[in-house]
Amino acid sequence: MGLLQETSYQYYEGSQVIVASAGQQNFVLSLDPLPKNAEKFLVSVNDIEIVSSNYTYNSLTGLLTFTTGLNVNDVVLVELKNKSLGKYRYTTLNDIVNNYMVGFVGDDKIINNVKKSDILFHTKRGIQEFSYDISRVEKIQEVEVGFTLSIPMPQDYVNYVKLSWSDDNGIERLIYPIRYSARPSESPLQDENYNYLYDQEDNILVGTSVTDAKFKDFDNKKITGDVTEISYEPKDLMDTRFGLNPETSTKNGGFIIDEARGVISFTSDMVDRIVLIKYISDGIGTDDEIKVHKLAEDALYKYITHAVASSKSNMPEYIINRFRKEKRAAMRNAKLRLSNIKLEEITQVMRGKSKTIK
């Protein structure tokens, strides 16, 4: 039996068409995967949208039930609000766990006995590790920077890949991290003798950051050298063009990540710019994201096997070492497969690289 459970129309259009018989009320959806609830799709009969109070939906069976029977040859259209393409590349969490229980657990198999909950735990942990190093689940969030010069970290943020801003032509301009300032996570209040102040419960009092306020008002041109008029007075030269540092001589701005507060802050010249945050997720932020690329599926099975064997007290050490070697080899193969190196693309990039750089 093939793995494709939906028609080409259902996949490309994200919808399913069913022709009703006389008095028919129950309709079985065959969309893959089935919508999780009725809020994920729209229902229309003969091109007239039907409100959700006129039908019920069972997400486990995919059964759509109308409150009243339809007429013969009525055309029912179920259309997904957000269709997803390219999902055949991935294997879901449930399939990974079920396949492992069938293929690896039982009598005369690698693992004699293990709980399904243990397999689920190690699978999720493996997906996290693969997201960091192998499959590299990278997302791009587009945000406009306001006058606060700060934006919150994405909800499933783990680490950033790069930050850039989009110019008028939609071209990315790389933003570099700042090393010449910082974002204090705590600013204790002090008295005139520089002693810390405390409340009635002996908790330290904190205020707003002076460094943060100064940096927001700082004119970034003083270190980038981007000046419209140059004064040849010694002091002005020292503050503008003389002795520029290539690290700071850029018009693309800079950013600071406040790990404690979960905020990304920018220099003053970034106001009203559209920022693209390319970051790494752990791959298990939502249920829809918990999936494994098929090119790394075998490596995940090897990872689970080693993890399960390592957690057993009576497992011989030589068996664990064997599973460890198999895991490393499979993960290395998966990384090579997912590196997606194309010779033609490398050739195009390398053209002109032989030019002398002075």
In the chain the first and final C-alpha atoms are separated, in Å, by 62
- Where are the domains positioned within the chain? 8-80, 87-135+284-336, 138-280
Q: Which of 42, 32, 25, 34 is nearest to 7 (CA)?
A: 32
Sign of the torsion angle spanned by Cα atoms 218, 224, 229, 233: positive
What's the pLDDT score for residue 227?
Answer: 59
pLDDT: which is higher, 197 or 357: 197
Average pLDDT, rounded, for the chain: 85
Give backbone dihedrals phi and psi of 256, rounded to 5 degrees, phi first.
Answer: -130, 135
Q: Which pLDDT score is estimated for 135?
A: 78
Q: Give the CA distances from residue 250 to residues 124, 154, 208, 224, in Å, rounded to whole numbers and listed in that order.
A: 42, 26, 29, 6
Q: Are 276 and 165 in contact (CB under 8 A)?
A: yes
Q: What is the pLDDT of residue 165?
A: 92
- How far is it, in rounded angstroms, from Cα 147 to Cα 154? 19
pLDDT at 323 over 70: yes
**pLDDT given at position 30:** 87
In this predicted structure, what is the pLDDT of residue 236?
Answer: 55
- pLDDT category of residue 289 using cuts at 50, 70 and 90: confident
Which comes out higher in pLDDT, residue 85 or 301? 301
- At 52-96, the pLDDT tens digits run 889 999 988 999 999 999 999 999 999 998 888 888 888 888 889
Least confident of 161-165, 279-283, 319-323, 327-331: 279-283
pLDDT at residue number 242:
57
Q: What is the crossing angle of helices 116-133 and 93-104, to 10°? A: 120
Q: How confident is the model at residue 276 (pLDDT cuts 50, 70, 90)?
A: very high
The reported pLDDT for the residue numbered 122 is 93
- pLDDT value at position 328? 94
- What's the rounded mean pLDDT across residues 99-108? 90
Sign of the Cα torsion 272, 276, 280, 281 reads positive
Residue 1: predicted pLDDT: 55
Beta strand 26-28 pairing with 63-66: antiparallel
Q: pTM of the predicted model, to two decimals?
A: 0.73
For residues 137 and 1, the model is more confident at 137
Residue 355: what pLDDT?
60
State the pLDDT at residue 13.
86
Model confidence at 282, in pLDDT bands (50, 70, 90)?
confident
pLDDT(307) > 90: yes
pLDDT in the model for residue 186: 81
Which of the residue ranges 186-200, 239-253, 298-312 would you say has the lowest mean pLDDT? 239-253
Whether residue 239 has pLDDT greater than 60: no
Q: What is the pLDDT of residues 106-135, one digit of tens each?
A: 888 888 888 999 999 999 999 988 888 887
- What average pLDDT does this structure show over 320-339? 92
Decide if pLDDT at 235 tops 60: no
User: What does the pLDDT read at residue 269?
Assistant: 85
Q: What is the pLDDT of residue 196?
A: 92
